[in-house]
């Protein structure tokens, strides 16, 4: 292209991001390649074109609709309020905050939401690190869609409708998840492995002994155990009554005599909590804190149960990929499920699917059903073990 014979103009302002190319257009090098954004005589249009190219910025009238940054800010304000009211967990709100920031970084703060379509969400999906597993990707997609579902809800009406996400912005398929599970193999405990844990923790690690008993007896996970209050355990009748922390679903579970005994032995050595709010919590670390807690200064959750279990499994040489403290829940479901699927789901604290009419009509699960499941798991654990 022949060079422009006109004298190159100066930048209209010191912070103007473009420079005047001899061909008569405003230019910017991006990834070591020149990009042109408009003629010299219209620098405002050139800057707008550059903004749109670099971060999705759109020059628009207020009537064009809400920008992505404003939508995300309004969404996070609501979620923060729900956090303060105790309806959401800090880790969940933190995940939402990180996902919103990631979306803004990829699509641009000034992007008008009404102009977003499948190409944007394809770009967002492909920008995720390739190292993320299918469950992590599915969680990200679910949380991002929740932002727009909230904005389009009858209560908010910040946008007329949710965007068209396209065929790429979907959770990984069931086939991919099955393949990953197949590659991991069986991640449940054997009876022999559990007895090895009990043998190695009976005297020197009373807290882990009690926690593992609760995991295999009642299907409790890390967060459940960390939040377990004294009021949930009736040591005389041998019953645990405690809603699942994640879902709030009520649970009743008969406790084995050895579980009760393990809890009593742990309580002889229980530390005094540093936080007054934890005085009624069963499990307290040697430093005086809950075993799973949110660190506000670091904006992350610390799970001491997972850390201690990893060290224990490694030390007694039964650690393998995918095997963790949470595998106790998987083991409980695997062994107890065939006896009575309904009672096992009740013990696990799962939320029934909305289309499960059997769960809708079911009024209760009898205690005898629950006991049949836990007795079966106990018999499996002790079978052929001296």
Q: What is the pLDDT of residues 332-378, one digit of tens each?
A: 999 999 999 989 999 998 776 666 666 555 567 899 999 999 999 99
pLDDT more than 90, % of the chain: 66
Looking at residue 15, what is its pLDDT?
79
The pTM of this model reads 0.68
Instruction: Yes or no: say if 330 and 187 are a contact pair by the CB < 8 Å rule.
Output: yes
User: For residue 34, what pLDDT is reported?
Assistant: 82
Task: Tell me the CATH number for domain 191-382.
Answer: 1.10.443.10
Rounded average pLDDT over 215-237: 96
Contact (Cβ atoms closer than 8 angstroms) between residue 107 and residue 124: yes
pLDDT value of position 61: 47
26-51: per-residue pLDDT in tens?
998 876 778 888 899 999 888 888 87
228 neighbors 282 (Cβ within 8 angstroms): yes
**In this predicted model, what pLDDT tens digit does every residue of 53-100 receive, in sequence order?**
766 544 444 455 899 999 999 999 999 999 999 899 898 999 999 999
Average pLDDT, the chain: 89
Residues 6+ away with beta carbon under 8 Å from 261: none
Q: 124-170, pLDDT tens digit by residue?
A: 999 999 888 888 999 999 999 999 999 999 999 999 999 999 999 99
- pLDDT-based confidence at 239, cuts 50/70/90? very high
């Amino acid at each position: 292209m022949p060079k422009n014979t006109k004298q190159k103009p100066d930048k209209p302002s010191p912070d103007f991001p473009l420079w005047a190319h001899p061909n008569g257009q405003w230019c910017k090098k991006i990834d070591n390649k020149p990009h042109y954004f408009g003629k010299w005589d219209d620098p405002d249009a050139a800057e707008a074109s550059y903004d749109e190219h670099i971060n999705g910025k759109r020059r628009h009238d207020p009537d064009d609709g809400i920008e992505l940054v404003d939508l995300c800010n309004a969404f996070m304000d609501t979620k923060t309020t729900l956090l303060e009211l105790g309806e959401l967990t800090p880790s969940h709100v933190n995940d939402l905050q990180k996902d919103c920031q990631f979306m803004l970084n990829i699509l641009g703060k000034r992007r008008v939401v009404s102009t977003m379509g499948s190409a944007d969400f394809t770009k967002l999906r492909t920008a995720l690190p390739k190292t993320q597993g299918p469950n992590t990707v599915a969680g990200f997609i679910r949380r991002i869609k929740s932002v727009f579902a909230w904005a389009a809800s009858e209560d908010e009406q910040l946008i007329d409708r949710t965007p068209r996400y396209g065929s790429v912005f979907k959770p990984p398929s069931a086939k991919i998840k099955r393949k990953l599970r197949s590659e991991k193999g069986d991640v449940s405990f054997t009876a022999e492995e559990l007895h090895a844990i009990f043998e190695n923790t009976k005297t020197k690690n009373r807290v882990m002994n009690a926690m593992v008993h609760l995991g295999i007896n009642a299907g409790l996970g890390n967060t459940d155990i960390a939040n377990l209050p004294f009021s949930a355990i009736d040591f005389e009748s041998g019953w645990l009554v405690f809603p699942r922390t994640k879902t709030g679903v009520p649970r009743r579970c008969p406790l084995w005599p050895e579980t009760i005994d393990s809890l009593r032995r742990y309580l002889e050595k229980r530390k005094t909590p540093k936080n007054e709010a934890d005085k009624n919590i069963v499990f307290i670390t040697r430093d005086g804190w809950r075993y799973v807690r949110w660190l506000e200064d670091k904006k992350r959750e610390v799970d001491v149960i997972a850390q201690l279990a990893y060290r224990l499994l490694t030390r007694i040489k039964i650690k393998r990929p995918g095997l963790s403290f949470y595998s106790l829940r998987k083991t409980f479901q695997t062994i107890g499920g065939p006896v009575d699927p309904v009672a096992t789901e009740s013990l696990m604290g799962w939320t029934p699917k909305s289309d499960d009419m059997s769960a809708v009509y079911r009024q209760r699960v009898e205690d005898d059903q629950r006991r049949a499941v836990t007795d079966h798991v106990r018999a499996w654990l002790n079978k052929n073990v001296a």
